[in-house]
Amino acid sequence: MKISQPPISKSSELTVDADLDMLSTYQVKALASPASTEALRKGSKDITNAEVADAAAIDYVKLALTGLIRDADIKSDAAIALSKLALDLTTHASRHQDGGADEINATGLVGLPFKVYKTADEVVANSNTLQNDDHLLFAVAANEIWFFILMFKAVEDTSPGGNIKWAFAVPTNGTISRFLTWSTTGAAMVNGTTAASDTNLADAILYYMHAYHYVGGDTAGNVQFQWAQNTSGAPNTRVKQNSFILAFQIK
């Protein structure tokens, strides 16, 4: 290293050999702002990721990021709003049938299962008027088509009681049909808004499973499970927790 002493008559100057690492040799009090095209350097080398403290709190706007952000780069509690993500939903198939009806698309979850279930028991007594179930319903838009399975568990607190009947309420101009049976030779269907009933309900839980087909009209609303006692009576008729609807939007 060579340091030259400037003449007294001139302003102070310090000439340093080019190979001197100033940041390693001297304490720097301040750095001039880098030009827009320059990177901040430590001596003659780029500052590496390991030399940046975790608590450095560098403003995000100061970083010029290149490459792709990987899944592992995002913290689980990042809470990034979905609206900030540009998702290509039209080409993802949850069951990977390219171009198939089970693909997620931008208009909705057509072909994917949707479920609702009862989070608690529900009781009706002294009433044979159909009432809305507290949990078993789902929303539909106008002109949608759905296929769904209803499975519910029912019991009387004491027997004999009022038994049970059930139906579905649907939006105006929508139609719902109930399959009478599972069959390989075809079977009739009945109006799902017409109540079905069972007079054999007792104080042991019975299980009911039915398949339904809903075709929407020009009105949105809810497909709503309804039930009541078949004959009004004092013993409770109870639809049990964990009864459920498993629904598939066809269109």
Q: What is the CATH number of the domain that holds 206?
A: 2.60.120
Q: Is residue 53 part of a domain?
A: no
Q: Is residue 29 part of a domain?
A: no
pLDDT at 35: 59
| Residues linked to residue 124 through DSSP beta bridges, in sequence order | 237
In Å, the largest CA–CA distance within the chain is 118
pLDDT at 236: 93
How many domains would you assign to the chain?
1
Q: Is residue 190 part of a domain?
A: yes
pLDDT at 160: 86
pLDDT at 84: 72
Domain housing 245: 113-249
Q: Is residue 67 part of a domain?
A: no
| Residues linked to residue 140 through DSSP beta bridges, in sequence order | 221
* Conformation bin of residue 5: beta by default, left when phi > 0, alpha when psi is -120 to 50: beta
Q: Is residue 95 part of a domain?
A: no
Q: Is residue 45 part of a domain?
A: no
pLDDT at 225: 97
Q: What is the mean pLDDT of each successive set of 10 residues along the chain, which is 251 residues long?
A: 53 52 57 58 65 75 71 76 63 47 51 87 95 95 94 92 94 92 68 91 92 94 95 92 94 87
| Residues linked to residue 156 through DSSP beta bridges, in sequence order | 237
Separation of CA 79 from chain center: 14
pLDDT at 17: 52
Q: Is residue 89 part of a domain?
A: no
Please tell me the distance from the alpha carbon of residue 156 to that of residue 239, in angstroms, as a whole number. 9
Q: Residue 210, Cβ neighbours under 10 Å: how many?
A: 17
pLDDT at 239: 96
pLDDT at 8: 53
Q: Is residue 120 part of a domain?
A: yes
pLDDT at 207: 94
Asked whether the beta carbons of 195 and 87 are under 8 A apart, the reply is no
